Structure 1
Amino acid sequence: MSVRGIRGAITVDANEEQPILNATIELLNSIVEENGILPDDICSVFVTVTSDLDETFPARAIRQMKGWELVPLMCALEVPVKGSLERCIRLMVLINTDKTQAEIRHVYLGGAQVLRPDLSKS
């Protein structure tokens, strides 16, 4: 068994608590569904946000999900590169799995599809 990283990102329309929490849940649920994983498979989740999202911690949404209470979570600010995508939440989900790197499905939703158009779903 290996530890694999699953990347994902999503944008929100406003720096408001509920849109941030909702987007975080939408992104994580998409990652889980696309990769067929359970909370017990998760090593940890690293969450970053752009500096324009400061109304809440996205990890709050994950912590409230059934079965995710014991998953280690960490939030941080994304590197503030000039001209980079605004109002963006990114996840790095580390999982224990027998899947190969090629079998991992990364998820980019909403405006974050511009980050990795090769991996984005319409």
Structure 2
Amino acid sequence: MIRGVRGATTVPENFEQEILSATEQLMKEMIAQNKIEPDNVASVFISVTDDIDAAFPAKAIRSLEGWTFVPVMCMREIPVKDSLTHCIRIMVHVNTYQHQKDIQHVYLEEATCLRPDLKHDDDK
């Protein structure tokens, strides 16, 4: 079964190093919480808000060991009025035997406001 693993984070400024560091931190957390192996990943979609254009977040993922050949694509998020700014969102399409309810979606920094309904008991 292919499942989607979601994650999001924010950066304080539109600087290359901040974008790459935040993306790497988010992706590593998604990998750890869901025990994701690159060979089980079909693709990764990354979206950014309009105020992020100093770097391609995909660069951070491709630099992770074993992730060089995983298809990664960056795109713009829909610019909804009054939505969260400086936001990087990731969707990993992974082959897994986990049930949908057991997937650990990861929200860091200011992005925790996006899905408060997904808080886990150990996040309290």
The TM-score normalised by the length of structure 2 is 0.94
Are the aligned partners of 1:108 and 1:119 in contact in 2 as well (CA < 8 Å)?
no
- Measure the CA separation in 2 of the matches of 1:118 and 1:26: 22
Are the aligned partners of 1:5 and 1:94 in contact in 2 as well (CA < 8 Å)?
yes
- State the shift of 1:44 in Å: 0.5
Q: How does 1:1-122 map to 2 (within 5 A)?
A: 2-120=1-119, 121=123
Name the aligned partner's letter for residue 63 of structure 2.
Answer: Q
Query: Where in structure 1 are there 5+ consecutive unaligned residues?
Result: none
Aligned length: 121
- State the shift of 1:17 in Å: 0.1
CA-to-aligned-CA distance 1:64-110 (integer Å, 9 cap, x gap):
11100010001000000010000000000000011110111100000
SS at 1:26 equivalent: helix
Stretches of 4+ aligned residues off by more than 3 angstroms: none
- State the shift of 1:37 in Å: 1.2
Name the aligned partner's letter for residue 106 of structure 2.
Answer: V
Query: Where in structure 2 are there 5+ consecutive unaligned residues?
Result: none
Are the aligned partners of 1:34 and 1:105 in contact in 2 as well (CA < 8 Å)?
yes
- Measure the CA separation in 1 of the matches of 2:101 and 2:116: 17
- State the shift of 1:113 in Å: 0.4
**Structure having the larger proportion of residues in helix:** 2
> Identity of paired residues, percent?
52
